[in-house]
Chain A
Amino acid sequence: MTHSFRKTLLSASVSLAAMLAAQAATAQEAVFVMAGNEVGAPTYNPIKATMLNTATGLIFDRLVSQAADLSYHPWLAESWEEAADGMSWTFHLKQGVTFHNGEPFNAEAVKAWIELFKTTEGENAYMAEAIASVEVVDDQTVKFVMSRPEPNLLYNLSSTFMSVVEPKSFAALGDDFGVTEVYGTGPFKLESFSIGQETVLVRNDDYTWGPQLATNHGPAKIARATFREIPEDSTAFLELKTGGVDMLLSVPPDLTGEIEKEANLAVVTLPGADVWYMPINVTKAPFDDIRVREAAAKAINQEEILASVFGGVGSTADTFLISALPESHVSDGAKIHYDPERANALLDEAGWVMGADGVRAKDGQPLKVTLWTQSDSIFRRLTEVVQAQLKAVGIEAEITTFDSSMIRDQYKTGEQQLAVRSYNWDNADIVDWFFGGDRLGYPNVSMFNDPKAEELRTAAMTGAKNMDERIANFTAYHEYVLSQFPMAPIYQPVQAMAYNKDRISVPEKIDAPSFGSAMFMDLEVKE
């Protein structure tokens, strides 16, 4: 090897190293891990999919966005008006928005997109069901003509399933839309998608129409984002710890403590959409007696559970709905709180006499009931605490554990008495879902079927013409259900995310109900 050649090689490798270092310093690239329950989401087709992952919210925009307090804010729609009779809605669209494939986003595109819900076979059609037709008023204005008032329309429009897709490519690509190619107006474009493994997104440099709730309206600061799918929480944690990934989008309560022990990691939380509760089967003795139901509900010490089971992270629940929902604002008397004196007095009144062994009895029958739960460890821990709290007022509960994927069918037998479960939903119609008289067993685990409740339910589900009426009707329905004690509220978790402090800077204020564009626009890789 000649001297000069060696020199050239040396200087070339030095400059290559410098280039690589420079690239590493400026590259806004980050790796995220999606929540475990999102693993295997098979497509980015919002109209057909039954399950969509977090990355979907970065490929597409929606007409309406939701803030952390679940209020509605402009996004692709700059403003809107609802007719007084609820039979039409007019949306004024943002100007200068284009899809990733260059097609314009305008009134025609919105009309074509809504019509896809009518012509595509799938389970999401109900979201646009009340829209009878879409009229193009002018290039930036659309009018939805309704077949019935739908005061829940803004909620539907802010849902990921109503992400605005580019209608021409949707028609042309068929089943491949959302798998091999996908076009929205979002801050990121799909580069590659390998189901069950990872999705790579690249920044949409033309993006300037980010949601108002973000500080940065576009383009995003991160240039390239990889979303990995990791089913095991402990594996995801090890990846974060070793620097293999930069952020976990969902951290289970048992791992937050571990993460806070690490110097370079931090946890950031968003309000959750989960409620943990104890359904009470109103048809099974002794819980056919409302006094016994109320006693069991008021035996639950929410504060103690928050502190001992969940380490103080999250908040207690005192209604059936997450507290961000306006329909959760029932009268103080209707809220269900821990009240052992009341519980004991009610059981005395119902004829259940405290025995020497700490278990109440009536006519020689001990107050023994079953308490069902699912196999996940956090459920088992919580259920043991609930069992002890019931015992404190003289109710002996025997725990039966079922596999998480099979417990629904067990509920369908209607044999349950008490159970510990949770749901994740951010709309008041969840009251209808879990207490509607035509869904006994599952989802109506409480087997609650009450004529007055059914009346209030109909008014809540279909009787309202606008959003205020809907809120009033659902609040009344919710309040009545609470007064019958078909369940005891327990706990509201937060959504915890974890990130590497050395790598990522997270905005101080996050005004979003969940991880999505509003938060992602302000995320930055530290340089």
Chain B
Amino acid sequence: MFAYLVRRVLMLVPVFLAVSVVIFSILHFIPGDPIDNLLKPGSSPTARAEMEMRYGLDRPLPVQYGIWLSKVVQGDLGTAIVARRPVADLIAQSLPHSLRLGGLALLFSTVVGVGLGIVAALNRDRWPDRAVMGGVLLGSTLPSFWLGLILMLVFSVWLGWFPVSGARGWGSLVLPVLTIGLGGTALVARVTRVSMIEAAERDFVLLLHAKGLSPLRIQLRHVLRHALMPVVTILALRIGWILGGAVTVEVVFARPGLGTLLIKSLSQHDYPVVQACLLMLAMAVMLGTLLGDVLQALMDPRVRAALA
């Protein structure tokens, strides 16, 4: 198991390098640069060249990349060009907000999604199944931007239950968590339903029935345990996805976080900040994948045996 873990972690190194190249080059191929946001009417005509030199933007791209990467691996994310603050400070102020929002959304979509999936599977092809799957289809197709505004309109403007926006207190988390969580719920519910139905058709279930166990007990104790494996994998994969998915929702609900920071820095072409934000999101996806693999290994005795 340990050897497997080491191998999986080592495999992340080339992935990390590839991701860093992609992030760096995509950003620099987008038209525009940070200096445009720094120059003001009244500054001298030579100001541009001076600034490019000051921020190292006059050097060839591969050199800039090398400098950036070598600093990043030493834990130095650099200083924001437009924002003029250490990038690590900006991230440290934003990340906790995003983690709280993303974590709660993940929790919500897990609990509700698995629950709905079970209900649908137990009532296969009957009305509760159809209702859940219909709702799920609707939930997964609504764009989060729009869904957020609708929830805001209903629960804040009409009913006045929650604050419209902001990040003050737990009440302000409810609508953003719902907005992100509902999309995820759909996916989790579908996967749970399908894999429970599949598992229920396996031979061991027939055996359990033959042994005279109650159908509900079979479903919840034995079938669900089997069925949850793909669900766990999907949830782990979604860790990174949910942080990324929070981007637009943070903007709509005016919450500070990685998404708000990313959007702002992107519009200003503040390279060091955008690179750091994207790197955070990419790492979240990579670590989520790793977590999914490890969990699967731990949960499935066959995988564990193969690795031993």
Question: Contact: A438 with B45, CB < 8 Å?
Answer: yes
User: For the complex, what is the distance from the CA of A241 to the CA of B164, rounded to whole Å?
Assistant: 10
- Using an 8 Å CB-CB cutoff, how does the interface string of A201-236 with B read, 1 for contact, 0 for none? 000000000000000000000000000111110111
Contacts of B30 in A (CB 8 A): 406
Interface band, chain B: 35 or more
Which of A293-301, A425-433, A497-505, A512-520 participates in binding chain B? A425-433
For the complex formed, measure the closest distance between the CB of B24 and the CB atoms of chain A, giving whole angstroms: 18
For the complex formed, measure the closest distance between the CB of A165 and the CB atoms of chain B, giving whole angstroms: 15
Question: Contact: A43 with B157, CB < 8 Å?
Answer: no
Do A238 and B157 contact each other (CB < 8 Å), given the known contacts A40-B264, A123-B38? yes
Contacts of B47 in A (CB 8 A): 123, 126
Q: B69 on the interface (CB 8 Å rule)?
A: no
User: For the complex, what is the distance from the CA of A234 to the CA of B146, rounded to whole Å?
Assistant: 12
Pick from A40, A198, A229, A432: contact of B41, CB under 8 Å: A432
Question: Contact: A42 with B83, CB < 8 Å?
Answer: yes
Question: Contact: B36 with A442, CB < 8 Å?
Answer: yes
Contacts of A442 in B (CB 8 A): 36
User: For the complex, what is the distance from the CA of A126 to the CA of B5, rounded to whole Å?
Assistant: 56
For the complex formed, measure the closest distance between the CB of B144 and the CB atoms of chain A, giving whole angstroms: 13
Contacts of A50 in B (CB 8 A): 37-38, 82-84
Which of B213-221, B231-239, B254-262 participates in binding chain A? B254-262
Contacts of A196 in B (CB 8 A): 93-94, 256-257, 260-261, 264
- Using an 8 Å CB-CB cutoff, how does the interface string of A52-90 with B read, 1 for contact, 0 for none? 000000000000000000000000000000000000000
| Residues of chain B at the chain A interface (Cβ within 8 Å) | 30-33, 36-45, 47, 51, 54, 80, 82-86, 89-90, 93-94, 149, 152-153, 156-157, 160, 163-167, 251-257, 260-261, 263-269
Question: Contact: B45 with A123, CB < 8 Å?
Answer: no
Contacts of B265 in A (CB 8 A): 40
7 A-B pairs with least C-beta separation? A409-B31, A433-B41, A196-B256, A230-B254, A40-B264, A42-B83, A197-B256
Question: Contact: A231 with B263, CB < 8 Å?
Answer: yes
Question: Contact: B41 with A49, CB < 8 Å?
Answer: no
User: Which B residue's beta carbon lies closest to that of A161?
Assistant: B40
Pick from B33, B85, B252: contact of A179, CB under 8 Å: B85
Pick from B54, B93, B153: contact of A238, CB under 8 Å: B153
Contacts of B160 in A (CB 8 A): 242
Question: Contact: A123 with B93, CB < 8 Å?
Answer: no
Contacts of B267 in A (CB 8 A): 404-405
User: For the complex, what is the distance from the CA of A51 to the CA of B269, rounded to whole Å?
Assistant: 14
User: Which A residue's beta carbon lies closest to that of B50?
Assistant: A123
Main secondary structure of the interface of A (DSSP, over half): loop
User: Which A residue's beta carbon lies closest to that of B264?
Assistant: A40
Q: A122 on the interface (CB 8 Å rule)?
A: yes
User: For the complex, what is the distance from the CA of A410 to the CA of B254, rounded to whole Å?
Assistant: 31
Interface band, chain A: 35 or more
Question: Contact: B260 with A228, CB < 8 Å?
Answer: no
User: For the complex, what is the distance from the CA of A425 to the CA of B42, rounded to whole Å?
Assistant: 11
For the complex formed, measure the closest distance between the CB of A273 and the CB atoms of chain B, giving whole angstroms: 12
User: For the complex, what is the distance from the CA of A126 to the CA of B269, rounded to whole Å?
Assistant: 23
Q: A48 on the interface (CB 8 Å rule)?
A: yes
Known: A196-B257, A196-B264, A232-B252. 4 other contacts (CB 8 A): A197-B256, A404-B267, A427-B41, A438-B45
Question: Contact: B41 with A230, CB < 8 Å?
Answer: no
User: Which A residue's beta carbon lies closest to that of B34?
Assistant: A50
Contacts of A234 in B (CB 8 A): 149
| Residues of chain A at the chain B interface (Cβ within 8 Å) | 39-40, 42-43, 45, 48-51, 121-123, 126-127, 152, 175, 179, 194-198, 228-232, 234-236, 238-239, 241-242, 244, 404-406, 408-410, 425, 427, 429-430, 432-433, 436, 438-439, 442-443
Question: Contact: A238 with B43, CB < 8 Å?
Answer: no
Question: Contact: A42 with B84, CB < 8 Å?
Answer: yes
Question: Contact: B93 with A40, CB < 8 Å?
Answer: no
Question: Contact: B84 with A410, CB < 8 Å?
Answer: no
Contacts of A427 in B (CB 8 A): 41-42
Question: Contact: A194 with B165, CB < 8 Å?
Answer: no
Pick from B39, B253, B255, B261: contact of A40, CB under 8 Å: B261
User: Which B residue's beta carbon lies closest to that of A432?
Assistant: B41
Question: Contact: A232 with B45, CB < 8 Å?
Answer: no
Question: Contact: A42 with B263, CB < 8 Å?
Answer: no
User: Which B residue's beta carbon lies closest to that of A152?
Assistant: B42
Contacts of B263 in A (CB 8 A): 231
Contacts of A51 in B (CB 8 A): 82-83
Contacts of B93 in A (CB 8 A): 194-196
User: Which B residue's beta carbon lies closest to that of A39?
Assistant: B264
User: For the complex, what is the distance from the CA of A427 to the CA of B156, rounded to whole Å?
Assistant: 43
Pick from A43, A238, A429: contact of B85, CB under 8 Å: A43
Contacts of A443 in B (CB 8 A): 41
Question: Contact: B156 with A242, CB < 8 Å?
Answer: yes
User: Which A residue's beta carbon lies closest to that of B83?
Assistant: A42
Pick from B41, B164, B254: contact of A231, CB under 8 Å: B254
Which of B89, B153, B260: most chain A CB closer than 10 A? B260
Contacts of A438 in B (CB 8 A): 45
For the complex formed, measure the closest distance between the CB of B71 and the CB atoms of chain A, giving whole angstroms: 18
User: For the complex, what is the distance from the CA of A42 to the CA of B90, rounded to whole Å?
Assistant: 8
User: For the complex, what is the distance from the CA of A244 to the CA of B44, rounded to whole Å?
Assistant: 44
**A-B contact list, 24 entries, CB within 8 Å:** A40-B264, A45-B84, A50-B37, A50-B38, A50-B84, A51-B83, A121-B54, A123-B39, A123-B43, A152-B42, A195-B256, A230-B254, A231-B251, A231-B254, A231-B263, A232-B251, A235-B252, A238-B152, A238-B153, A242-B160, A405-B268, A408-B31, A408-B36, A443-B41
